[in-house]
Amino acid sequence: MATIGTSGIEVSLLCLGANVFGWTADRDTSFAVLDAYIAAGGNFVDTADSYMWRVPGNSGGESETIIGEWFAARGRRDDVVLATKVSSLPTRKGLAAANITAACDDSLRRLQTDHIDLYYAHYDDRTVTQEEYLDAFDGLVRAGKVRAIAASNFTAERLRSALEISRRDGLTEFVALQPHYNLMERADFEASLEPLVEAEGLSSVPYYGLAKGFLTGKYRDGGPEIDSPRAPGALAYLDERGRAVLAVLDEIAAGHEVAKGNKITVAAVALAWLAARPTVVAPIASARNAAQLAELLPVLDLKLTDDEVRLLAQVSA
């Protein structure tokens, strides 16, 4: 377990991404994935009010609704650190104070809970002042509806100014950042955001931890065609650098023992590298079914050696 920034909230080393719930995973399959994740010792689930409004027939909130129904059916709310987000659902877009308050209440209803553990600003909103939205988030914390707040997809400049404003005005501060970061996408985060996050004592919770599925090792030269909405994005990484990364992941995975009955997979090694980074508390990865989840679960107990971490850093640079 690891602690999110200064929040005191402890989470498992794998955050289960729920963006597939109500999209490529229906209600029953989503329940099975949640059941298996909790049974394996995971406790950190990430969603958003906008998941998955772009899917034909959806309007947004489908992922939250499924999680809420799972809470009601299983009675496991206290076993989960729940993260959700505001600002990108078209009917609740942006970070105006009134919108944040209304969106939080909407999420709480869908999730069938009285509090959100970690509430993200999904995207920054330059149409309102940072003072306005930080004050709104602070109000939710004071009301007991939110335990801690965080930022997603913020630039270093805007994250720094948000922290400065919160301190100046005595408001609740962001404790974490959710950036796009993985072995194949390192430059943007490491150049400007990582030093700031580390200096400020925040935690990173990276999304696309498996580079749209490429780091599962399923996308290779001459490999079978993968039926997935993310396949085109994953295949874009299949170049000389990508092949070299996969080769090292294969080597490291083969060198580790089976953990708790689960074979060490390429995906688990890629996520373990992220978990070993200085600011990362838990990488996010999603699973369309229980079989895919089983490939990720070894990361909960997998610790790479310093040499393995350095080798992956070198080959992916």
Distance CA 180, CA 127 (A): 23
Q: What are the catalytic residues?
A: 51
The three-state DSSP-derived secondary structure of 270-303 is HHHHHHCCCCECCCEEECCCHHHHHHHHHHHCCC
At 297, which CATH number? 3.20.20.100
For every one of its 317 residues, what pLDDT tens digit does the chain have, with 9 covering 90 and above?
Answer: 999 999 999 999 999 999 999 999 999 999 999 999 999 999 999 999 999 999 999 999 999 999 999 999 999 999 999 999 999 999 999 999 999 999 999 999 999 999 999 999 999 999 999 999 999 999 999 999 999 999 999 999 999 999 999 999 999 999 999 999 999 999 999 999 999 999 999 999 999 999 999 999 999 987 766 767 777 888 899 999 999 999 999 999 999 976 666 689 999 999 999 999 999 999 999 999 999 999 999 999 999 999 999 999 999 99
The total number of structural domains in the chain stands at 1
Q: Which domain holds residue 157?
A: 2-315
DSSP β-bridge partners for residue 93: 87
Across the strands, what pairs with 286?
17
Q: What is the H or E stretch that residue 3 is in?
A: strand 2-3
